[in-house]
Structure 1
Amino acid sequence: MDTTDSTHPNHDADEKRIRALVARTQEAQLDPEALPALHASDLVLINFAGRRLFGRETFASAMAEALSSPLKDVRTTLEVDDIRFATPDVAIVSLTKTIHDERSGTGDASALPLAGAMTYVMTRQGDDWRISLAQTTPIR
């Protein structure tokens, strides 16, 4: 269900750009250079475990660390549920995150939630959009 603000002057074009950005985040989820570049430099990110990161560089460092651990075998997919424009340059995007845990030998994987409610706050930067805030709440 999308309940976007149809009075926004570039509604359709911006919605397409936002959806394309979400798709690019999925494609880049194992690339510690490409994924952070899709985020604003002053990003605030709260991950699935509740760890809060401030700034794109901190995110890139944490991502590189995670990719050198068994977390490299955890993939996610995102489904856009709703896009709302707070202003023409700020969008609040509600998503459902699905977790695909392909790690072996890590104990009871069923104890992990397999889905999360994710929120992005995206900001227009030039002609494109960047993720300024990303927050995921596990769904049990």
Structure 2
Amino acid sequence: MDTTNAMNATDPARPALSAQDTEERRIRELVARSQEAQTDPEVLPALHTSDLVLINLAGRRVFGREAFESAMTAALASPLKDVRTTLEVDDIRFVRPDVAIVSLTKTVHDERPDTQGQGPSDFPARGAMTYVMTRDEGADWHIALAQTTPIA
């Protein structure tokens, strides 16, 4: 039994979790799964809608899940496989119950051997990232748009 909800149910000063709180938790879980799957070209694209739009940190646009999977597979076969990112959720806003705009801070960890101790990476260390997430009735959330702007 969820003790948080049990406590809230018996303590009128602490309201039960709202539907929005539940959806925010689900969105945060999707962000965590997307970060964990950043090197898995079978898992990460599936967390996105089939018609996603992605603009990466370098400004490259990718349209659709299949194109994303291809681009990701190519990147993982290159030195880019050693560039990891971490995500921190800064804000979640619901446009409608089934559409959310998620503001994140992306931190880049460039671990390519040719950049270690060789001066600055060709990637900025941080980016302002925006996800637009959607969900079908009763379904999981998916990323419909992912856009990253470098932070100087």
Which consecutive unaligned segments of at least 5 residues does structure 2 have? 1-17
The count of aligned residue pairs is: 132
User: Is residue 2:59 matched to residue 1:47?
Assistant: no
Measure how far apart 1:104 and its partner are: 1.4
Runs of 4+ in structure 1 displaced over 4 angstroms? none
CA distance in 1, matches of 2:19, 2:52: 24
Instruction: Select which of 115, 131, 137 maps to 1:120.
Output: 131
Instruction: Select which of 73, 80, 85 maps to 2:89.
Output: 80
Measure how far apart 1:108 and its partner are: 3.6
Measure how far apart 1:127 and its partner are: 2.2
CA distance in 1, matches of 2:22, 2:81: 34
- The structure with the largest strand share of the pair is 1
Q: What secondary structure does 1:105 align onto?
A: helix
How many percent of aligned residue pairs carry the same amino acid?
73
- Which deviates more from structure 2 when the two are superposed, residues 104-113 or residues 34-43? 104-113
| Correspondence for 1:6 | none
Which consecutive unaligned segments of at least 5 residues does structure 1 have? 1-8
Q: Normalising to structure 1: TM-score of the pair?
A: 0.90
Higher relative contact order (CA 8 A, sep 6+): 1
RMSD: 1.2
Q: Normalising to structure 2: TM-score of the pair?
A: 0.83
Deviations 1:13-41 (A, max 9, x none): 10010000000001100000100000000
Instruction: Select which of 101, 106, 131 maps to 1:97.
Output: 106
One-letter identity of the residue aligned with 2:108: I
User: Is residue 2:27 matched to residue 1:18?
Assistant: yes
Assess if the C-alpha contact under 8 Å between 2:92 and 2:100 holds in 1: yes
